[in-house]
Structure 1
């Protein structure tokens, strides 16, 4: 069976009020495209363990319009796993992940499709403003993009999220990646291919509240860096070498001073500072090593990235 031209994949978690608004707006945009071929589309929602009526709303939407489809996961696996589920099950020649909150406007899809037809395999959206985000979030987001691109060889475009168009060739490459600790923006960057960008203004969400708090964003940032780079491990070799060199230099200084001026009363304060400093470095290095070892454990288990409990559309 020939699939649609475009697949929109939308992860949701407790978004019963936002889903109908999202469907109505995306449907109006896609059905109004000037290119008739682009009006062949599906919208695939991934219900990531919702506890409200999100799945019931999706059932009603699917009954009214078979182009609205859904996967219901057996529990909350996280946004990255939900995105992976959508990519695995999307049938379109081009696939666009987007959020249900409509902060990434679906009106940009027409420009993305135009660039795709010009030969670009990835067309990512770049936010020209982050006025809907708080000042601390804007500052930390900017710092994260810079830190990631400094540490990793797989550069991600600054202020670009998951909202992007992926050609079917890119989708098949992403589907071949077996890792469980997934940072999707890093996987998109690793895949390569010809890429272009479209700019848009990010607006505040109209319905519901974000499911990301600062702690989740912090752990997400750690996952992104550790999945894309081994520099945090390697840096401790350099730091350890520098500390050892300083200790060797200080030892020579002590020997020379003792030979010239005799033995002086030792300073307990300086000794305590040195012990605490080195102890702190060791604990920090062990923590970073533990992050990587923990990820090795998750990969070694080989468990499925997600479990589908129910499917609406195609095979239902």
Structure 2
């Protein structure tokens, strides 16, 4: 844990005046699905010794919470349920609750939740975002190279374990845009909030183009035709999604990274599974905290690196509004 606990953590801010409250903590680059927008067709996994240990993850997270005022931690990957010791990590994070940590969440493809959901709930996990880009079994298999049945079983297990969750789908034209209505209808039948995410220009295979982006306005037009009146709900500073009520009863979220960027209010930073800090999802490079950590640097030195890396955070996608070339893909950076 962090040395020298601060009674009132100083704010972690960037040069644009945005305060950071949320840490996306990647615990592995490995995944058992193969979504094209997230990773190369034939990914190579990082050697396990390069990944931060559970103890290193806890030490760095303690710095973010105790010394820098981070209140929310979201575990990501890759697929985080593939990480050994995941329940122990979540249990360790509970020690930070009295120090300011308010929420421990996770983003998952749900394929292993059937066996892990009760243990994750018992360890202290608060909630989940579950990724599902198609409801049609054949299309899901084509998109992910995996069957949909374990995902559906995992969703049921999360519900049975009492873990609140939302469903996420990245929408890409000529990929899965034909699933918008059926995914929403299925989610609404389950009484679960569905969130659609605009396709972001982040993959290193350069698959992105503006023509493949299905925008918020198009999504709403299609869903309005199917479900009726659309009511925009007050925007929550805690969520990247713009939320709507469809037909007077169905809750829907849309993350408008491309058509209406929310970079000006971004309160997130990301730490990869190998300990590299990315202040922005669109950053081309990060700060290598693992090397400093394993080199014996003090907490004070690590804090200086974190503050410097975050202070120099770019304005975000709202500034360049185009394809971002970078050496890291989403399965290594974390969603």
- TM-score by shorter chain over 0.5: no
Highest Rg: 1 or 2? 1
Flag the structure with higher helix content: 1
TM-score of the superposition, structure 1-length normalised?
A: 0.26
